[in-house]
Amino acid sequence: MSKKVLIASIIAAFGLTGTVTAAELNVYSARHYQTDEELYGNFTKQTGIKINRIEAKEDELLERIRNEGANSPADIFVTVDASRLAKADELGIFRPVKSAALEARIPAHLRAPNWFSYSTRARVIVYNPDMVKAEQVQTYEQLADPALKGQVCTRSGSHPYNLSLGAAMIKHNGAEATENWARGIVANFARAPKGGDTDQIRAVAAGECGVAIANSYYLARLMNSDKREDQAVVAKIKAVWPNQATWGTHINVSGAGMLEHAPNKEAAVKFLEYLASDQAQEYFANGNNEWPAVPSVKVDNPALKKLGEFKADTLPIGELADTVAEAQRIFDRAGYR
């Protein structure tokens, strides 16, 4: 056997040619939900592709990807919040993916040229009916009404969930109106912003405040809980889909994209397409109380079904990043920190 033939045989035997499907996929994830284990496990069962996952905060992962440069082993970056995905895109870390399957299944307003949304969560208003009337809290704008002075609880204004809402309000209402709104929110605080969304819901139930803003999956998680204390919280509150008569309830997303220097590009595309499959989309709903990005997927989650249908904002999700920095400046000037 000639030397060239021998080398070719060794390369083929060890799967080193470019035509062989990668057996591994390296995912950098800033999405931290234990229930995602099943999501990743199902992909491996279906494809035989092993997933190596590194989880950390988004900024840490982005810095790592930039430092690794062309030598990065990462194939996929996963995170939550549209502004974070857009920020990653601005850093030039994503490689465009052309996929007829993804374009057919993910609505246009939930994808950008270099990344895709796979689940959505709504920014809902939660209120205590013993303290606040339903008609007082039908819109985000009403939360700045002086009639709600001393009634509003929120998490930090610098958190991406609130900044994305502020960015959407700038798009719909303009910067001046959004700044007036932020000042009104601050004037209506029941206490200084603190804690996460679940803490806001619990504060409303406890009567610490009359109304709060929270992502829907935190509420659905409490609704589906079998803990007595969680059910006690749910029994004391009501939820509103804001702005149903105007631009619709603000939504945010979880999403992912293939990285520029992905060593396993074929496996990366398979993974992105898998996330848009019926099985994975049902998992987002049933495993983490989020809505599927694919509109045709049926939702069987009891809490999501109980919350019912609503009019969602269809602002292209990639546009939120255009005004997030402005939203932060507005919130800072208003003292919403």
Which residue would you say has higher pLDDT here, 140 or 320? 140
Q: Please report the pLDDT score of residue 322 as a whole number.
A: 86
Which residue would you say has higher pLDDT here, 19 or 129? 129
Q: Please report the pLDDT score of residue 83 as a whole number.
A: 86
Share of the chain above pLDDT 90, in %: 87
**178 pLDDT band (50/70/90 cuts)?**
very high
Q: Please report the pLDDT score of residue 299 as a whole number.
A: 92
CB half-sphere exposure, 99, CA atoms < 13 A: 26
**19 pLDDT band (50/70/90 cuts)?**
very low
Task: Indicate the length of the chain as a whole number.
Answer: 337
Q: Which two tokens stand for residue 116?
A: 């895709």
Q: Please report the pLDDT score of residue 230 as a whole number.
A: 98
336 is in an annotated binding site: no
Topology of 22-120+252-298 in CATH? D-Maltodextrin-Binding Protein; domain 2 (3.40.190)
217 is in an annotated binding site: yes
User: How far, rounded to the nearest angstrom, does the alpha carbon of residue 67 sit from its chain's CA centroid?
Assistant: 25
**22 pLDDT band (50/70/90 cuts)?**
low
Q: Please report, for the chain, the start and end positions of each structural domain, with discontinuous segments joined by +.
A: 22-120+252-298, 121-250+312-334
Which tens digits make up the pLDDT trace of 123-137? 999 999 999 999 999
Q: Nearest-CA neighbor of 219 among 189, 205, 261?
A: 205
Q: Nearest-CA neighbor of 248 among 169, 183, 184?
A: 169
Residue 176 has pLDDT above 70, yes or no: yes
For residues 159 and 77, what is the distance between their CA atoms, to the nearest angstrom?
20
Residue 7 has pLDDT above 80, yes or no: no
**DSSP annotation string for 109-154:** GGEETTEEEEEEEEEEEEE-TTTS-GGGSSSSGGGG-GGGTT-EE-
CATH architecture assignment, domain 121-250+312-334? 3-Layer(aba) Sandwich (3.40)
Which residue would you say has higher pLDDT here, 17 or 214? 214
Which tens digits make up the pLDDT trace of 239-262? 999 999 999 999 999 999 999 999
Q: Please report the pLDDT score of residue 33 as a whole number.
A: 83
Which residue would you say has higher pLDDT here, 13 or 322? 322
With contact defined as beta carbons under 8 Å apart, do 273 and 25 qualify?
no
pTM for the full model?
A: 0.89
> What number is the average pLDDT over the span 59-66?
96
Conformational region of residue 5, where left means phi above 0, alpha means psi within -120 to 50, and beta covers everything else: alpha
Please report which helix (H) or strand (E) contains residue 292, including its range. Answer: strand 291-292
Identify residue 219 by its one-letter amino acid code: L
CB neighbours of 171 closer than 8 A, spacing ≥ 6? 315, 319, 320, 322, 323
**Cα maximum dimension of the chain:** 88
Q: Please report the pLDDT score of residue 26 as a whole number.
A: 98
User: Do 22-120+252-298 and 121-250+312-334 come out as alike in CATH topology?
Assistant: yes
Q: Please report the pLDDT score of residue 313 as a whole number.
A: 97
> What number is the average pLDDT over the span 144-173?
97
CA-to-CA separations, 280 to 35, 109, 119, 161, in angstroms, rounded: 12, 20, 10, 24
CA-to-CA separations, 34 to 37, 38, 55, 161, in angstroms, rounded: 6, 9, 11, 21
Average pLDDT, the chain: 92
Q: Please report the pLDDT score of residue 21 as a whole number.
A: 47
32 is in an annotated binding site: yes
With contact defined as beta carbons under 8 Å apart, do 210 and 171 qualify?
no
For residues 51 and 28, what is the distance between their CA atoms, to the nearest angstrom?
10
Residues pairing with 212 in the sheet: 126, 153
Q: Which two tokens stand for residue 95?
A: 């490689």
